[in-house]
Amino acid sequence: MKSLKQAIPTLEVAIGEEVFTIKCSFGVLARFQKATGKNPFDGDLWKAPSPIDFAALLWAGISPQKPEWTIEDVCDQLAIGQLEQVHQIAMALMSSATAPEDKNASEEKKISE
């Protein structure tokens, strides 16, 4: 039996005047999906994400530390000039999560090579 125990990676992000540590966990992905109704494992979503998608993902990451904040609060704290940084953080967060079907496909590819 394989163990599910694994260290959860983290990312640091500055939102407004505060720096937050975001855990790259299923909790973040679940909060994002619950708030937006969008599956974070949908690769097409991240090909052309909206500002709300980015803000919702960051909100999902910081909400354990700032439960009183809304997605709109996160939007209001982000400068338009931070778009590239926010995009990089979102992509780093999503790259730490591999969709089960993608992981199986890559494992199958390794096996067949």
pLDDT in tens, 22-31: 998 899 999 9
**Measured between alpha carbons, how far is 41 from 95 in angstroms, rounded to an integer?**
10
Model's pTM, two decimal places? Answer: 0.76
Please state the length of the chain.
Answer: 113
pLDDT for 9-22, tens place per residue? 888 988 888 999 99
**Measured between alpha carbons, how far is 111 from 95 in angstroms, rounded to an integer?**
22
**Measured between alpha carbons, how far is 61 from 32 in angstroms, rounded to an integer?**
8
CA atoms within 13 A on the CB side of 112: 6
For residue 11, list its beta bridge partners: 22
pLDDT for 17-71, tens place per residue? 899 999 988 999 999 999 999 999 888 888 888 999 999 999 999 999 999 999 9
